[in-house]
Amino acid sequence: MSAARKKVFYNRVRRACIKHGFEIEYQGVPPKTYSSVELVKDGSVMFADRSNDGRPLNIDWERLYNEMLKWLQGGVQ
């Protein structure tokens, strides 16, 4: 995924999180070695992207956004 496309979906996820009261939580050492990213609401992990092999995570913002759309039924575009 190109950097520009990742930025588009990151911004969509961020705006949806602000609108619906989610927090974006990263685990790992910033900025390049995150092991997971979680979208948390009221203490519960609603959506997550995690590294299974111990390598730094390449966050799939598009997949997270599409999962949010299914759950939120509309989302922010």
pTM: 0.83
Which residue segment(s) compose the domain that 29 sits in? 3-72
Average pLDDT value for residue range 1-29: 91
35: in domain: yes
For 60-70, the pLDDT digits (tens) are 999 999 988 88
From residue 1, how far is each of 41, 44, 69, 73, 77 by CA, in Å?
Answer: 27, 29, 20, 25, 19
Classify residue 77: in a domain, yes or no.
Answer: no
**How many structural domains is the chain composed of?**
1
Quote the CA–CA distance of 13 and 22 in Å, as a whole number: 10
